[in-house]
Structure 1
Amino acid sequence: MLDKRVSINFCGGCNPVINRGKIAGAVKELLLSYGYLISFNSSDADFLIYLSGCTSNCAQKYSKSDVPNVVVAAFTVDSLIVDESGMVTEIVKRVRSHL
């Protein structure tokens, strides 16, 4: 067991263009299968996933955390355009490469 803590932090969801819940659920299940501990909307973690439904990126915009992270804002992962069908793989790849 890795015992590394990952938190998935959401925006308020006022204008989502991606299915944040579906993406978060799939990321959670995959990371759990690799032995990570998953929480939601917490800065008390070893790595943060900021999951914003649109390009305003509110999940990360107002964060004061300096914890390593990946930023999802609409169809981008760390500012790179990613098809929604490939987002889960890209997010998990970035978490695993850091931790």
Structure 2
Amino acid sequence: MNNRRISIVFCGGCNPRINRGQIAAQVRTMLIESGYQVWYNSLDVDFVIYISGCTACCALKYNHSNLPSVVVAAATVDTVNGEEQEIAAKIVMRVRGYFE
């Protein structure tokens, strides 16, 4: 098990275009299976995953830190458009890519 701490930070969910909870659960499961520690809505970690339901990107806007991160805004991952069902895998690839 590695000691890398990951946080998933959410927006308020006022205008969701994606299922933020389902994506977060998938990401959490995949990261834990890879040995990462996963928290929600904390900035006392090594890496942050910001998940916003729409393009306003409030998860990042209201919780920004200088920690390494990946940003989801609706169906985009780090500003690259994609399909909702691909988001979780893309997030995990970015996290693993950063640490490996």
Shorter-normalised TM range:
over 0.9
- The equivalent residue for 1:24 is 24
Name which of structure 1's ranges 63-72 and 42-51 shifts more when overlaid on structure 2.
63-72
Which amino acid is 1:46 matched to? D
Distance 2:31 2:81 in 1: 22
User: Quick one: distance in 1 between partners of 2:84 and 2:64?
Assistant: 27
CA drift of 1:63 comes to: 2.4
Corresponding letter in the other structure for 1:93: M
Aligned AA for 2:25? G
SS at match of 2:12: coil
1:29, CA displacement in angstroms?
A: 0.2
Task: Report the 3-state secondary structure (helix = DSSP H, G, I; strand = E; otherwise coil) of the residue aligned with 1:66.
Answer: coil
| Structure 2: gaps (5+ residues) | none
Q: TM-score, normalised by structure 2?
A: 0.97
- Superposed structure 1 runs of 4+ greater than 2 Å apart: none
Q: Which runs of 5+ in 1 are unaligned?
A: none
- Tell me what 1:67 maps to: 67
C-alpha deviation, 1:82, in angstroms: 1.3
Give me the identity figure in percent: 53
